[in-house]
Amino acid sequence: MDEYRDKILKVCNASSKNTLMQTLDIEYVEIGENFLVGKMPVTPKVHQPDGVLHGGAMVALAESVGSMASYIFMDAQKYFVRGIEISANHVKSIKSGEVFAKAIILHKGRTTQLWDIKITDAEGQLISICKLTTIAIPKE
């Protein structure tokens, strides 16, 4: 099973080439039955002017991980996945290190999916909590 999960993560990370995910150095690092985890380094390129992680970078991380999770758990041969709504509450700032976004599915409908995405630091302290709604659009 670990070999299968590693293969999925490899495909996810390869799909990030020449995208915002590559620009932000987002890497998908863990997958389970109903979740996906991605990480992003906190460096000056994702800071706001006062030197802390920009809220927009956190939202981009959350939407990237949640959308990729939706893509994984839907039939990607039949559907495009798009984010249609995201909300974020930033509860703590961070200046350096890494942040981890864990997307857990709350609702998996045929058309829409609802994701709970918690962003934490390396010690597991909550930095931000996001809710993402995605939609599965038939390719035909």
Range 2-138 has CATH code 3.60.15.10: no
Look up tokens 């863990």; give the residue: 30
Taking residues 20-26, what's their average pLDDT? 97
What local confidence, expressed as pLDDT, does residue 43 receive? 97
pLDDT, mean over the chain: 95
pLDDT tens-digit map of 121-130:
999 999 999 9
CA–CA dist 108, 115 (Å, integer):
9
Q: What is the dihedral of CA 112, 17, 10, 139, to 10 degrees?
A: 30
Taking residues 7-21, what's their average pLDDT? 94
Query: Which is the catalytic residue, given 63, 85, 98, 140?
Result: 63
Q: Where are the domains of the chain?
A: 2-138
Taking residues 2-29, what's their average pLDDT? 94
What local confidence, expressed as pLDDT, does residue 4 receive? 87
What local confidence, expressed as pLDDT, does residue 140 receive? 82
Among 129, 131, 104, CA closest to 119: 129
What local confidence, expressed as pLDDT, does residue 1 receive? 58
pLDDT tens-digit map of 56-113:
999 999 999 999 999 888 877 888 999 999 999 999 999 999 999 999 999 999 899 9
Please confirm, yes or no, whether 27 is among the known catalytic residues: no
